[in-house]
Amino acid sequence: MRWSLLVLFTLATAAQSGVAAEAAKQDFSGVWFPDAKASGRWPTERPFTPAMLAARAQWNKEHTPIDLTRDDENLSCIPYTLPYVMTTITQYPFEIVATPQRIHLFTEVFGQVRRIDLQSREHGDQLPSRMGQSHARWEGTELVVETTRILPLHAGHRYPSSPAQRVVERFSVGDDARSGRQLKVEVTVHDPPVYTEPVVMRMVYTAAPPGIEVGEYICGQDLWDQRRDGSSSRIPWR
Amino acid sequence: MKFAGGLGTVAALALHLATVQVAHAASPAAAATDFSGTWLPDARRAEPWPSSLPLTATTRRFMERFDAAQSDPTTFCMPFGTPRNMLQTGYPLEIVQTPERVVMVIQPNLANAEVRRIPLNAGPLPESPEPSWFGTSRGHWEGATLVIETIGMRDDAILGDDGLPHSGQLRVVERLHLERDPERGKVLVDDIELHDPQAWQGTLKTRRYFSWAPDARPRDPTCVDALWTEKLWSERLREHARQAVPAEATP
């Protein structure tokens, strides 16, 4: 009898903790716009290490003057890299599609895809990439996403980074009286060769009204259109 | 709904989750096939087009003069577009599936990832959607088969390296199902029908096979990096050339 009660109690506790764990998992699905007013910014004075300051000074000496109408990589369709893809504030939304195995984040600008694994902890032998390799775990109602293997950016870049960069993001959702449903992401950049201390930014995104979808964004489309319109032989139907 | 916190919210969320699970189990979507994951196109089993396609005269003329260096959008880092992104055999296909929608991601070595969004059971297609590279799609289940209809593709995209064009009237119907192959394991089969009276008579049909590849990971595209480097270098070289020539020698 005592054993039966113990088994029942154990089963009930396990079931309860399972329910609580499920309930703690927030649903981030939907289309989100960056909230320019509520979001944080990169610090004006970033805590660069002495070595990085020296590297940046050297880079500037070798490459100035910089003409941003020509030398800006984003203007030239080079897409964003994490964490900038989360911390940049544009008019473009992103969409989160969540499944039990993985969270996909589809950005409109540059049509980029982030993949956040919820189950696998395997890193494998993977090359660094703009979005890096992300794994997540739940801490209460927060999803903690840790990303490594992010493609490093050179010393002269607006946001230089090293191969050691590690980005930790804490995702949570809630309601706001002003803007309705909100997604909050606290972004912490750990990069000891670049920064003397972690850089923290708190980003806020608001839920898009119903019916809004992430659009098709093809960087360089205007160049192709000009080329195409210059010759009717390129379109047989006109 | 405000997050009030406490046991009430937990219980409400648990009840909601349980309800959602029951609802999914009872809905037709629960009986649907799970295509989620990453798939590699099987180039060896890609069905070639018949040797004599029922092409219109306009299409034939275009193909005879086709020069990929000038007229293939991908030469300029533009997307494959739909359905070329399903006909290609070089890059993985990733499928994200929820009861409400299917998202297909093809990440070729071009400027952008190609993301096809396919709402399920979302009613009829719009009359004349804004032309786009990936078109406007609707999907529905016919038993274990996912049927996708797509319209609204740009008329300057092509279907393959040979320059086979399609017009803005193109309508694509795909039927996706899973097969079990003793050698290859799980195989995704896409039966593709192409209707475009401006470009060919009747219906073009082909079948594409995709092998289950859970470890396949898309790589960062380098197409634009290459173009950017080329642009930067050509401008730098022109600048150096200008500086090297005295002003009075310039005509």
Q: What is the pLDDT of residue A113?
A: 93
What is the pLDDT confidence band of residue A63, given thresholds at 50, 70 and 90? confident
% of chain A residues with pLDDT over 70? 83
Residue A238 lies in a domain: no
Residue A19 lies in a domain: no
Whether residue A189 has pLDDT greater than 80: yes
Peptide bond into A65 cis (omega under 30): yes
Q: Closest Cα of chain B to A50: distance in Å?
A: 30
Q: What is the pLDDT of residue B250?
A: 41
Whether residue A53 has pLDDT greater than 50: yes
Q: Which amino acid is at A176?
A: D
Stretch among A179-183, A201-205, B106-110 having the lowest mean pLDDT: B106-110
C-alpha to C-alpha distance for B152 and B134, rounded to whole angstroms: 8
Q: What is the pLDDT of residue B236?
A: 53
Residue A9 lies in a domain: no
Whether residue A112 has pLDDT greater than 80: yes
Considering only CA atoms, which of A112, A86, A111 is closest in space to residue A28? A86
**Domain spans, chain B:** 37-227
- Structure-derived torsion over alpha carbons of residues B240, A68, A85, A189, reported in degrees to the nearest 10: 90
Q: What is the pLDDT of residue B110?
A: 73
Nearest beta carbon to residue A235 from set B61, B76, B156: B156
Residue A221 lies in a domain: yes
Q: What is the pLDDT of residue A20?
A: 47
Looking at beta carbons, which residues of chain B come within 8 Å of A237? Answer: 58, 155, 165, 167-168, 198
Residue A21 lies in a domain: no
User: Under CATH, which number does the domain B37-227 receive?
Assistant: 2.40.128.20
Kindly report the number of other CB atoms within 10 A of residue A224's CB atom. Answer: 19
Whether residue A167 has pLDDT greater than 60: yes
Q: Interior CA angle at A135 toward A132 and A138, to 5°?
A: 145
How many residue pairs bridge chain A and chain B with CB atoms within 8 Å of each other? 123
C-alpha to C-alpha distance for B10 and A24, rounded to whole angstroms: 8
ipTM of the complex: 0.84
Whether residue A218 and residue B78 make contact (CB cut-off 8 A), yes or no, is: yes
Residue A6 lies in a domain: no
Q: What is the pLDDT of residue B239?
A: 59
Helices (H), B83-168: 84-87
C-alpha to C-alpha distance for A114 and A173, rounded to whole angstroms: 19
- Rounded to the nearest 5°, which phi and psi values hold at B203? -125, 130
Residue A156 lies in a domain: yes
Q: What is the mean pLDDT of each run of 10 residues along chain B (251 residues)?
A: 32 36 40 89 88 92 90 89 95 94 88 90 94 97 97 95 95 97 91 97 95 83 64 55 50 41
Residue A236 lies in a domain: no
C-alpha to C-alpha distance for A29 and A96, rounded to whole angstroms: 5
Nearest beta carbon to residue A236 from set B59, B133, B224: B59
- At A1-52, the pLDDT tens digits run 454 544 444 444 444 444 445 556 788 999 999 999 999 999 999 999 999 9
Peptide bond into B221 cis (omega under 30): no
Residue of chain A with shortest Cα separation from B62? A236
C-alpha to C-alpha distance for B32 and B42, rounded to whole angstroms: 24
Q: What is the pLDDT of residue B107?
A: 85
Q: What is the pLDDT of residue B233?
A: 52
Whether residue B113 and residue A73 make contact (CB cut-off 8 A), yes or no, is: no
Task: Name the domain count of chain A.
Answer: 1
Whether residue B76 and residue A110 make contact (CB cut-off 8 A), yes or no, is: no
Q: What is the pLDDT of residue A187?
A: 98
Whether residue A157 has pLDDT greater than 60: yes
- Structure-derived torsion over alpha carbons of residues A29, A33, A34, A35, reported in degrees to the nearest 10: -110
CATH of the domain at A155: 2.40.128.20
Beta strand residue intervals within chain B, DSSP E: 37-41, 93-97, 101-106, 114-119, 136-142, 145-151, 171-181, 185-195, 203-212
Based on C-alpha coordinates, what's the Rg of chain B? 23
C-alpha to C-alpha distance for A49 and A160, rounded to whole angstroms: 12
Whether residue A218 and residue B97 make contact (CB cut-off 8 A), yes or no, is: no
Higher pLDDT pick, A20 / A144: A144
Mean pLDDT value of segment A217-221: 84
E strand or H helix that includes residue A206: strand A199-207
Helices (H), chain B: 6-26, 57-64, 68-71, 84-87, 223-244
- Rounded to the nearest 5°, which phi and psi values hold at B125? -70, 150
C-alpha to C-alpha distance for B166 and B133, rounded to whole angstroms: 12
Whether residue B14 and residue A22 make contact (CB cut-off 8 A), yes or no, is: yes
Q: Which domain holds residue A108?
A: 26-229
